[in-house]
Amino acid sequence: NSLLAKAYITRQGYALLVSDLQQVWHEQVDTCVVSQRAKELNKRLTAPPAALLCHLDELLCPLLKDTACPSKVSFVCDRVGEALILRVRSELSGLPFYWNFHCIPASPSLVSQHLIRPLMGMSLTLQCQVRELATMLCMKDLEIQDYQESGAVLSRDRLKTEPFEENSFLEQFMVEKLPEACSVGDGRPFVMNLQSLYTAVTRQEIQVRQKHPGSGDPQPSSSTSPQGTENQLLNEPEEPVSSVPSLPVPEKEPTGPSGPVQRPQLSKVKRKKLRGLF
């Protein structure tokens, strides 16, 4: 299985939104949580929170940009009850570095803000594009007709096209292309073709909320996050919206308890190629 994720990392903390197209999980933490969790997972390593956050950003960037993951980095997902834990293993300053993202179910307001509303905005945008293109095609047909009435002749018959009829085109599309176009799969087609549009729509949402504050911004859903962290991390317009890794997700919950470990045993897990998604 694959996961879609949206990540944002700064020197003050990070926010992570993850979905398997059935559920949505979320984590957002500040430097205090980063420092405490790093001490629990890395007994031999001492580093300021800003350095740890920078390292996490460097680990995620190759995944989010759909490039090759460094050979000394591995990611594994575990389902523990309703939570999703993303375990990371790498190196920092020549020492083993471990990190766990503890993602809890996202609130309905977060799902609406980062998935439902952007997808609705994208649908409306694409609909406007279709109308504009249909109008342009009709104008092109009128231009071709004017050339023909002036005596112009097409030099290559294979370039000849029929006049564009919007209703006929839409009916034919519904019959022939709709099943293929609606194939969501693991979300990869959405990422490859519409990620830039998603980014543009979410930026527009942020600008609208800044002009009209108090329009129903969601409250933080993680108990480890201070009030306001969510809006600072997930709604920052100056930075680009990150893409998302695709990671293996086990079908069954692990039998052992979840908790910090010093040296996770990851050698038995078959590594899969990670893909940037959303």
According to the model, what pLDDT value does residue 70 have?
Answer: 63
- In this prediction, residue 35 has a pLDDT band, given cuts at 50, 70 and 90, of very high
Quote the tokens at residue 185: 């799969």
261 pLDDT more than 80: no
Lowest-pLDDT choice from 14-28, 161-175, 193-207, 246-260 = 246-260
Domain identity same for 17 and 43: yes
Distances (CA, A) of 208 to 179, 205, 211, 274: 35, 5, 5, 34
Which one is predicted more confidently, 65 or 5? Answer: 5
- Where does a domain end: 47, 79, 106? 106
Which one is predicted more confidently, 165 or 258? Answer: 165
CB 240 within 8 A of CB 201: no
263 pLDDT more than 70: no
Which one is predicted more confidently, 147 or 275? Answer: 147
20 pLDDT more than 70: yes
pLDDT tens-digit map of 40-85: 999 888 889 999 999 999 888 877 776 666 667 888 889 989 999 9
According to the model, what pLDDT value does residue 236 have?
Answer: 45
Q: What average pLDDT does the structure give for the chain?
A: 77
Domain identity same for 96 and 116: no
254 pLDDT more than 80: no
Amino acid letter for position 44: R
Domain identity same for 118 and 145: yes
CA-to-CA distance for 194 and 182, rounded, in angstroms?
14
According to the model, what pLDDT value does residue 69 have?
Answer: 64
CB 2 within 8 A of CB 186: yes
Coil, strand or helix: which one is 176? Answer: helix
Domain identity same for 31 and 113: no
What is the average pLDDT across 15-43?
A: 93
Cβ atoms within 10 Å of 61's Cβ, excluding its own: 15
Range of the domain at 143: 109-211
Task: Judge if pTM exceeds 0.75.
Answer: no
- Where does a domain end: 188, 211, 234? 211
According to the model, what pLDDT value does residue 122 have?
Answer: 93
Distances (CA, A) of 193 to 125, 189, 200, 236: 14, 6, 13, 23
Has residue 169 been placed in a domain? yes
What is the average pLDDT across 101-120?
A: 93
Give the rounded percent of residues in the chain with a pLDDT score beyond 90. Answer: 40
What is the average pLDDT across 99-118?
A: 93
The sign one gets for the Cα dihedral 242, 245, 246, 249 is negative
Cβ-proximal residues to 167 (8 Å cutoff; 6+ apart), any chain: none
pLDDT tens-digit map of 80-100: 899 999 999 998 888 889 999
CB 114 within 8 A of CB 28: no
**CATH number for the domain that contains residue 47:** 2.170.210.10
Domain identity same for 127 and 194: yes
The domain total for the chain is 2
Domain identity same for 64 and 146: no
Residue carrying the six token digits 């460094």: 70
Distances (CA, A) of 124 to 118, 120, 188, 255: 10, 6, 21, 46
Helix axes 117-149, 166-176, angle to 10 degrees: 130
112 pLDDT more than 50: yes
Has residue 252 been placed in a domain? no
**CATH number for the domain that contains residue 120:** 1.10.287.450
pLDDT tens-digit map of 136-188: 999 999 999 999 999 988 888 888 888 999 999 999 989 888 888 887 777 87
- Where does a domain end: 55, 71, 106? 106
Domain identity same for 76 and 137: no
According to the model, what pLDDT value does residue 214 have?
Answer: 64
